[in-house]
């Protein structure tokens, strides 16, 4: 993509979301899950919004999913993301109720429903999930 030194890096210190980034630094993708009722709390928060239990933790899922929607950005807004690049929203294969934002370089031939696979890339002290279209 563009100049990685310019990427707006995530804050990893929020008590509700920090576990996601801690797992990422170990190369693991996780979703926050309620231990009491099994509900997936996405985006991650400490309290289960379904049963209101505070007994919540993290469940590992495979970094695989499907394109839920996408946009080819042709006008640059941010220097870390020179146009063209492609924004994707990924529905996780293991947990379709959880979606994650992602991006692909350039303007690939893409359609809703295509499968993608992710791996982590370390930028400074943060591991960012990078998706790739399955070659099939």
Partner 1 sequence: MTVAGISHRDQCAIVGIGATDFSRDSGRSVLSLACQAALAAITDAGLKVEDIDGLVRSDYDAVSHNDLANALGLTDLTYWGATGQGGGAPCGMVGQAIGAVMSGQARHILVYRALNGRSGVRFGQRKPTGDRVGGAGGMEEFFMPHGLTSPGQAWALTAQRHMHEFGTTRDQMGHIAVTCRKRANANPAAQMHDRVLTLEDYHAARMLSSPLGFNDYCLESDGACAVIVTSAERARDGKQQPVLIRAVAQAASADPQAGLYMPTLMRKTLTTQPSADVARVLYGRAGLGPSDIDVAQIYDCFTITVLVQLEDYGFCAKGEGGPFAASGALDMDGALPINTAGGNLSEAYIHGMNHVVEGVKQIRGQSTSQVAGAQTCLVTSGIPVASSAMILRAA
**Closest CB to partner 1 among 36 and 130?**
130
CB of 61 to partner 1, least distance (A): 15
**Closest CB to partner 1 among 80 and 133?**
80
The Cβ-side half-sphere exposure at 82, using a 13 Å CA radius, reads 4
**Closest CB to partner 1 among 56 and 85?**
85
ω before 43 within 30° of 0 (cis)? Answer: yes
Binding site for partner 1 (CB under 8 A): 1, 6-14, 16-17, 20-21, 42-43, 45, 68-75, 77-81, 85, 87, 89, 97-103, 112, 126, 128
**Locate tokens 């303007």: which residue?**
107
Give the Cα separation of 116 and 125 in Å (integer).
25
Give the Cα separation of 64 and 84 in Å (integer).
24
CB of 36 to partner 1, least distance (A): 21
């Amino acid at each position: 993509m563009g100049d990685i030194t310019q990427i707006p890096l995530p804050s990893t210190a929020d008590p509700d979301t920090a576990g996601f980034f801690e797992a990422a630094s170990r190369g693991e993708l996780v979703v926050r899950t309620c231990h009491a009722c099994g509900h997936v709390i996405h985006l991650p928060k400490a309290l289960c919004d379904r049963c209101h239990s505070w007994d919540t933790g993290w469940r590992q899922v495979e970094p695989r999913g499907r394109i839920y929607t996408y946009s080819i950005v042709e006008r640059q807004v941010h220097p870390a993301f020179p146009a063209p690049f492609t924004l994707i929203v990924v529905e996780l294969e293991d947990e379709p109720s959880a979606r994650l934002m992602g991006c692909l370089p350039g303007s690939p031939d893409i359609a809703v429903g295509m499968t993608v696979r992710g791996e982590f890339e370390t930028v400074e002290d943060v591991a960012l999930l990078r998706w790739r279209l399955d070659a099939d």
